[in-house]
Chains A and B, each alone.
Chain A
Amino acid sequence: MLGLNKSDRKLFLIVVGLVVLAPFLLNPFPDNIGLAQFNAGYPDLMQKLVIFGLFAVGFNILFGLTGYLSFGHAAFLGVGSYAGVWMMKLLTMNVVPALIVSVLVAGLFSLLIGYISLRRTGIYFSILTLAFAQMMYSLAYSVLTPLTGGETGLTLSLNDPRVLSGPAIDGNIPVPHFFGLDMQSSVDLNLGSWSFTFSAGYYFCAAIMIVAFFLAIRLFRSPFGLMLRAIKSNQTRMSYTGLNPRPYALAAFVISGMYAGLAGGLMVAMDPLAGSERMLWTASGEVVLMTILGGAGTLIGPILGAGVIAYLESIISTINDNILHTWFSALPHWLDSTLVTILHPFIGKGWHLTLGLVFMAVVIFLPGGIVEGGKRLGNLFRRGKNNDAASGGQPTVEPGE
């Protein structure tokens, strides 16, 4: 089916299932109990999960396959966002032209930047991409204000021309739609004390993400994907066999830039606002974190990483001391207050501290990310059942070597 082999098909169907059922899966707790804190089934967050998943899948095509660590990938996301908002300002509020143009513009930029940056490898490549991204950020923030909105960001306004759909009639700024389907509309389903929200925007993003993920699987398994892996494992040997690695690496760079542009376009399709902070190098760092956390070079890893980071961010940053006190209320008072004092720096605004620590732990102890962790756990259980099978287990990288 769809040209996938058995295990890929299984993986693909699992991802489709997870994404389609996300409104249920992310809302496992009824609204009226304390654990509802951990529910993540609201549209904003779910959209963020799939959009960042898409972004990380694209980044993984470059980093996971070719090993080129780009530290400026957020620039393409930012460019895509700006292009998307401009299409909504100039043409129509339908998201289709916005998405197409964001992908094309991001592709164009990544072609240019990739062509120059890929002349160098290793740390030089990382610095070049970083330099380009910072340059674009600085320009978008300052000189290009007429084009990018500068500090305040690019927003829609009432007197935008919108040549295809006509200007706003009723004095309201129109909302993005997909051939009439309002992106911000949603349907609520109440089952007892559970409530589930099905948002049009989320399913739109999810459908695009699934298509993009499918393309990524095909790319991983294609001869082209094999070439990209060859670049990672030994570029010199590849050129000795008569193959020029540059065009392959450039193609991977452009493809992953287009994924980033698509993610940027989807962001503005959900919320028509583009700001220069999306291009900042910390944003580029974030997508690197997601890919590494999930497992670079694996298919499912980037989606897992993006999901975990986006989920933890929204959950941890909403926890405060009072919520902690209610959790620990069963404990003796002194223990309760000690625990809250210990946990205080890691919650709420301290979310980045938790992120940094988790990330360091992953790089130190589990360089393969969540996927490798899962594999190791799997091996552990299998070994417990059958000791003979363990001899052929996965070779694992020891920390601290």
Chain B
Amino acid sequence: MEAIILQILNGLDKGSAYALIALGLTLIFGTLGVVNFAHGALFMLGAFVAVTVNRVLNFSFPTIDETRTDFLGNPLSVDTPYVVGWFGPEWGNFIIDWAVPLSVLIAIPIMGLIGVAIERGLIKHFYKRPHADQILVTFGLAIVLQEIIKAFYGANPIPTPAPDAFQGSFDVGAVLGFDPFAIMYPYWRLIYFAFSAVIIGGVFAFLQFTTFGMVVRAGMADRETVGLLGIDIDRRFVIMFAIAAIVAGMAGVMYTPILSPNYHMGMDFLVLSFVVVVVGGMGSLGGAVAAGFLLGVLQSFASMSAIIELIPGINQVVIYLVAIIVLLTRPRGLLGRKGVMED
């Protein structure tokens, strides 16, 4: 029992990331009708916003620390971050420690701008082109974005720590009434799960309870009719693209303490997220989220050593295997709507 709960928990953080990326992909696909292969790159850009914020906060100036000496006996020169200089040691170090949560706030406008720029500058011209062209141009864009990041930050993963308050693990087992220390789960992963639940809930609430969301949902169902009713649907779709970019970016920012970001992390997640979208059903938001968590948890179960002994290599392929089975038995995915991408 403990092992099962632990595996479910382990699957949740990866599942959250899949769900967030797949949610954005589905938003873009459902509203704009564009298959966005650059969405993984947006996730990666978000992660690098966190890296950049971390670096900026750590810009330092040298000061002489009179109380310490180096091995020659001279006063030791230490680097003090500017932030510490400005806000004093207590607040300055607090800000640096909380760089990742802070980056989420900074990522919102940045990712929004990037999203608008991509939509206006590129995607807009591809609405009426075949899906193959959309896939290809966004694939090219993904290559360009990740190569730019590689040129600036190099090819190695850059560790970005979570705040000290969230280091260590939480004893989930004790809360649920099991033996203490039976189910330990890192704090940050719990935070990530809660964060993604909030974001997913927020996006759904936005679509369900606002007029704007209503128009967008109507546009997803029948774009032409909404246009005929005199609503400028294109303008709303720009905003939807920006929202999808922000969701992907925030998912990336918060993921940095779990996985040190490197320039190709976006591509790694993109392939899986596409599988998630297809399993959930193209154009179905609920399906994308459900499939994201489902596949994340399945992957974590498949990584259990007992199962690997039974079927070697299953942890590597379980997601693809599920995708193949789902696509062959339920062509529209788990919750897919009729008439979406069936031409």
Say whether A and B bind each other: yes
What's the nearest-Cβ distance from chain A to residue B35, in Å? 6
* CB interface residues, B 138-163, toward A, < 8 Å: 139-144, 147-148, 151
Chain B residues with CB under 8 Å of A288's CB are 136, 139
Smallest Cβ-Cβ distance to B313: which chain A residue: A143
What's the nearest-Cβ distance from chain A to residue B226, in Å? 22
Contacting pair A359 B140 (CB below 8 A): yes
Query: B282 an interface residue at 8 Å Cβ cutoff?
Result: yes
Of A85-93, A331-339, A347-355, the one touching chain B: A347-355
Contacting pair A134 B271 (CB below 8 A): yes
Query: A383 an interface residue at 8 Å Cβ cutoff?
Result: no
* CB interface residues, A 116-145, toward B, < 8 Å: 116, 119-124, 126-128, 130-132, 134-135, 138-139, 141-144
Query: B312 an interface residue at 8 Å Cβ cutoff?
Result: yes
Smallest Cβ-Cβ distance to B137: which chain A residue: A363
Chain A residues with CB under 8 Å of B147's CB are 350, 352-353, 356
Contacting pair A124 B143 (CB below 8 A): no
Contacting pair B324 A128 (CB below 8 A): yes
Of the residues A119, A124, A355, contact of B278 by C-beta under 8 Å = A124
Contacting pair A353 B137 (CB below 8 A): no
Interface residues as binary, A46-70 with B (CB distance below 8 Å gives 1, 0 otherwise) = 0000000000000000000001010
Chain B residues with CB under 8 Å of A128's CB are 323-324, 327
Contacting pair B328 A364 (CB below 8 A): no
By secondary structure, the B interface counts as helix
What's the nearest-Cβ distance from chain A to residue B239, in Å? 22
Chain B residues with CB under 8 Å of A196's CB are none
Number of A residues contacting the other chain (C-beta, 8 Å)? 43
A151 vs B313: C-alpha distance when bound (angstroms): 15
Of the residues A122, A131, A281, A285, contact of B323 by C-beta under 8 Å = A131
A124 vs B321: C-alpha distance when bound (angstroms): 14
Q: Known contacts A127-B274, A139-B317, A360-B137; is A116 also within 8 Å of B324 by CB?
A: yes
Query: A292 an interface residue at 8 Å Cβ cutoff?
Result: yes
Interface core residue of B129, B133, B136, B144 (most chain A CB under 10 Å)? B136
Interface residues as binary, B298-337 with A (CB distance below 8 Å gives 1, 0 otherwise) = 0000000000000011001100110110011001000000
What's the nearest-Cβ distance from chain B to residue A64, in Å? 11
What's the nearest-Cβ distance from chain A to residue B153, in Å? 13
Of the residues B128, B133, B317, B324, contact of A363 by C-beta under 8 Å = B133
Contacting pair A123 B131 (CB below 8 A): yes
Interface residues as binary, B260-272 with A (CB distance below 8 Å gives 1, 0 otherwise) = 0000000100010
What's the nearest-Cβ distance from chain A to residue B305, in Å? 14
Contacting pair A363 B313 (CB below 8 A): no
Query: B343 an interface residue at 8 Å Cβ cutoff?
Result: yes
A and B contact pairs by CB, cutoff 8 A, 15 listed = A121-B343, A122-B343, A124-B327, A126-B135, A127-B274, A128-B327, A131-B320, A132-B324, A134-B271, A135-B320, A345-B148, A345-B151, A352-B143, A356-B147, A363-B133
A144-B313, A353-B144 given; name 7 further pairs at CB < 8 Å: A120-B327, A122-B342, A135-B321, A285-B139, A345-B148, A356-B147, A359-B139
